[in-house]
Amino acid sequence: MSSTAFTRLPHPGPATEERVAEVLAAPGFGKYFTDHMVTVSWDAARGWHDATVGPYQPLSIDPSGCR
């Protein structure tokens, strides 16, 4: 099994300690979301690569991706 190294990109506006405390006081599935996400690229030549933990952002999907 191979391992993948992750690059970490800090969030430009992380949650405050007060906000974290508020969420942890009454957590709920689908109620709160992390301010970070993981993205990893894949292609046939390199396999999985360029793993990154970075700020939460919209996903970009190619329109032909439904095939």
Q: Does residue 56 surpass a pLDDT of 70? A: yes
Q: Does residue 52 surpass a pLDDT of 80? A: yes
Residues 10-34 have pLDDT tens digits of 888 888 999 999 999 999 898 988 8
pTM for the predicted model, two decimal places? 0.62
> b/e string for 27-65 if b means 16 or more Cβ within 10 A?
eeeeeeeeebeeeeeeeeeeeeeeeeeeeeeeeeeeeee
- Residue 2 confidence (pLDDT): 58
